[in-house]
Chain A
Amino acid sequence: MTTARLKVISAGPLVSYQDAGRPRLMRYGVPASGPMDRFAHAAANTMLGNMPDPACIEVSLGGLVLECVEGEVSVAIAGGSFRTGLDGVISEGWAVHTLAPGTRLSVSGGAWGSWCYLAFAGEIAAPTWLSSKATHTLSGLGGGTVRTGDIITITEATTRPGRVGTYDVPEVARPLPMGRLVIGPQDHLFEHGATDTLCSHPYRVTDAYNRMGMRLDGPALRLGNALSIPSEPIVRGSIQVAGDGVPTLLLADHQTTGGYPKIATMIGADTDRIAQARSGGRLNFHAVEVEEAITIARDASHARAHALEDLAAPRLSLEQRLQQANLISGAVAED
């Protein structure tokens, strides 16, 4: 184990360090932050054999180019379908590679998705705030933003040759054109038919999309008399509507409270997949009852755990697999 150093040749906006986040602090005004796509973040770590939670680099469509200047380290790429260049050889999708001094890795938007995660076989050296390296982008607290010219240090760096290769994107991580919602808690403050409008027309993702939320464009959701309410808690997935009738889906770096009425709340697992939508993309919404929401949450939790188990299995070369088969059959024979 050594230290690996990666020079940031170029980093677009909104590229940041994110671990699994800092939950349980909303009472102090601190959102959990963490990955915009929590499953993909866990997947990137899992593909390397890491625990699911450690810090990764969250790459936006702004892209990232790194050059390894010291040490060797394996890196996993998961999230949206991003294009990866490794010393000029272009590929796309989820994969594990190994970087050595002089290797240049570029990551940029591909067929779909807004965010992808670079996990490393080692520990990213970055500031911790409230026991987490997740970056709260508004304050800059936590691991922080990755900027052109930075040197990223990976301590305890190692290579995982048995995991190098390409990986299929599991079903649970593919883009979702429809987000499921539980109506409320302030649907009663809207004009009659507003929830039907939200759930029966496509909404377009606007350019106003960052880690705090995604402003949508579509039929206005008209509020009745109450344009604001006493400031109250917000969750990741809240759909709040300002006086102009425009809905905003709040995401990882959401404010913890706010005074705009919330017409509906997206199911947690769907927020990760919806976060992969791009500006200009179209989304549909579908209302479910709370009992169904619980079933969806449980099914999603099981499906994600299963997908992570599949990704956790090391990928071995044909020789290694044959060798392992021989060892196992040999052991069986001796029994």
Chain B
Amino acid sequence: MIAPVFKPVGDSALLVEFGTREDDVLNQLVISLDHAIARAEIHGVRETVPALVNLLVVFDPVVVDHGAIKAAVQALLPLPEATGSQTTHHDVPVCFDAELTSDLRDVATACKRSVDDVVAELVAVNLKVAMYGFAPGYAYLTGVPKALHVPRKQTPKPDVPKGSILMAGPQSIVTSLTMPTGWSIIGRSPFEVMQTTGETSFRFNVGDTVRYTPVGRTALPSHLQTP
């Protein structure tokens, strides 16, 4: 197992880093450690923030310090093999209508494929919730097939509606806010990762798996049915 490196972050956090290059094995270690810390209920820990290759442990510096947190995390190593028992699978309906999704044709051209083939290859894989970031409810899903990796666009597009499916490199996002994006917009979904009506909740947890399932335009809420 890869031994993590511990780096202090200010007076109240410790970064536990398994490596410095994006890699699914490292992300899996992050997720396993996140689960292990949650189970261990370490004294003084306020929250943990899992990311691609590292995990931030935020603590109360009045009651513990970096050394105590490092020792408590080291006591959890080596991490048990991931069993999948703490993760959930989500099928996310996506409309890949090329009229609604400004970049699907460009992605297909860049990948030297038809639009149908791009969609078929994307919906054939399970994506993984690797981390949240950028904005509330923005879950980074990794595992986009290598043949479909496209770089970010030169110019961001403003006011991309929430529920858009974005793609860049190995990652995809189901957006939860209407925001600008420099990623390719390849679909639309009625699925709300972040439900803001009523009691807000986040439907993905880091480590969960996601599969896009193609649906027609009529499956979308009416405001997403037009370009």
Given A27-B47, A28-B194, A129-B196, A231–B52 Cβ distance below 8 Å? yes
Asked if residues B49 and A233 are in contact (CB atoms below 8 Å), the reply is: yes
26 residue pairs of the A-B complex, CB under 8 angstroms, read: A27-B49, A27-B50, A28-B202, A29-B133, A29-B134, A29-B135, A29-B136, A29-B139, A30-B136, A129-B200, A136-B136, A141-B196, A231-B52, A232-B52, A235-B12, A235-B58, A256-B49, A256-B133, A256-B134, A265-B10, A266-B10, A290-B11, A294-B61, A297-B61, A297-B62, A298-B61
> Which among B9, B50, B51, B61 is the interface contact of A235 at CB below 8 angstroms?
B9
Which residues of chain A are near B133, meaning CB under 8 Å?
A: 29, 231, 255-258
Task: Tell me the count of chain B residues lying within 8 A, CB to CB, of chain A.
Answer: 45
Closest to B7 in A: A185
A257 CA to B139 CA in the complex, in Å? 11
B10 touches A237 (CB 8 A): yes
A298 proximity list for chain B (CB < 8 A): 61-62
Q: Are A23 and B47 within 8 A (Cβ)?
A: yes
**What's the Cα separation between A29 and B13 when bound, in Å?**
17
Known: A23-B47, A27-B34. 13 other contacts (CB 8 A): A28-B194, A30-B137, A136-B136, A141-B196, A182-B9, A182-B11, A185-B7, A233-B13, A237-B10, A256-B49, A257-B134, A293-B61, A294-B61
B162 to chain A, nearest CB (A): 10
Whether A184 and B52, one on each chain, are in contact in the complex, defined by CB atoms closer than 8 angstroms, is no
Q: Is A290 in contact with B62, judged by CB distance below 8 angstroms?
A: no
Smallest distance from the beta carbon of A238 to chain B beta carbons, Å? Answer: 8
A141 touches B136 (CB 8 A): yes
Q: Are A301 and B134 in contact (CB under 8 A)?
A: no
B139 CB contacts on chain A under 8 angstroms: 29
User: What is the CB-to-nearest-CB distance from A18 to chain B, in angstroms, rounded to a whole number?
Assistant: 16
Looking across the interface, which residue of chain B has its beta carbon closest to that of A229? B20
Alpha-carbon distance A136/B200, docked complex (angstroms):
14
A297 CA to B65 CA in the complex, in Å? Answer: 10
Give me the interface of B with A, judged by CB distance under 8 Å. Answer: 7-13, 15, 17, 20-22, 34, 46-56, 58, 61-62, 65-66, 131-140, 177, 194, 196, 200, 202, 206
The bracket for how many chain A residues form the interface is 35 or more
Within 8 A of B (CB), among A216-272: 229-233, 235, 237-238, 255-258, 262, 265-268
Closest residue of B by beta carbon distance from A130: B200
A130 to B137, CA, bound (A): 12
Q: How far is the CA of A262 from the CA of B17 in the complex (A)?
A: 14
> A138 at the A/B interface (Cβ < 8 Å)?
yes
Which residues of chain A are within 8 angstroms of B135 by Cβ–Cβ distance? 29, 138-139, 255
Which residues of the other chain, B, contact A232 by a CB distance below 8 angstroms? 15, 51-54, 56
Q: Which of A26, A130, A181, A232 has most B Cβ within 10 Å?
A: A232
Taken together as a complex, chains A and B put the C-alpha atoms of A297 and B61 apart, in Å, by 6
Is the Cβ of B140 less than 8 Å from the Cβ of A235?
no
Q: Are A184 and B53 in contact, with the CB atoms below 8 A?
A: no
Known: A28-B202, A184-B8. A233 touches B61 (CB 8 A): no
Supposing A130-B200, A138-B135 touch, asked if A257 and B10 sit within 8 A by C-beta, the answer is no
Q: How far is the CA of A184 from the CA of B10 in the complex (A)?
A: 8
Residues on A with C-beta less than 8 A from B134 are 29, 255-257
Chain A residues with a Cβ under 8 A of chain B: 23-30, 129-130, 136, 138-139, 141, 181-182, 184-185, 229-233, 235, 237-238, 255-258, 262, 265-268, 290-291, 293-294, 296-298, 301
Q: How many cross-chain pairs have Cβ atoms below 8 Å apart between A and B?
A: 137
Is A230 a contact partner of B136 (Cβ separation < 8 A)? no
Asked whether, in the complex, the Cβ of A256 is within 8 Å of the Cβ of B11, the reply is: no
Report yes or no: A230 in contact with B53, Cβ–Cβ below 8 A.
Answer: yes
> Contacting B137 at CB < 8 Å: which of A28, A184, A231, A294?
A28
Q: With a CB–CB cut-off of 8 A, which chain B residues contact A185?
A: 7-9, 15, 17
- Please name all residues of chain B whose beta carbon is closer than 8 Å to the beta carbon of A256 when the two chains form the complex: 49, 132-134
Q: Chain B residues near A181 (CB, 8 Å)?
A: 10
Expressed in whole angstroms, the Cα–Cα distance for A29 and B65 within the complex equals 25
Contacts of A294 in B (CB 8 A): 11, 61, 65-66
Q: Are B62 and A27 in contact (CB under 8 A)?
A: no
Give every chain B residue within 8 A of A297 (Cβ-Cβ): 11-12, 61-62
Most chain-B Cβ atoms within 10 A of its Cβ — which of A255, A265, A301? A265
Given A27-B50, A28-B136, A129-B196, residue A293 in contact with residue B206 (CB < 8 A): no
Distance in angstroms from B140 CB to nearest chain A CB is 7
B51 & A257 in contact (Cβ 8 Å cutoff): yes
A101 CA to B8 CA, complexed, in Å: 53
Q: A23-B46, A24-B47, A255-B135 are in contact. Are A290 and B56 (CB under 8 A)?
A: no
Measured between beta carbons, the chain B residues less than 8 angstroms from A141 are 136, 196
With A130-B200, A232-B51, A255-B133 in contact, is A293–B11 under 8 Å at CB? Answer: yes
Q: 7 tightest CB-CB pairs across the interface, nearest first? A: A257-B133, A265-B10, A233-B56, A297-B61, A29-B132, A185-B7, A293-B11
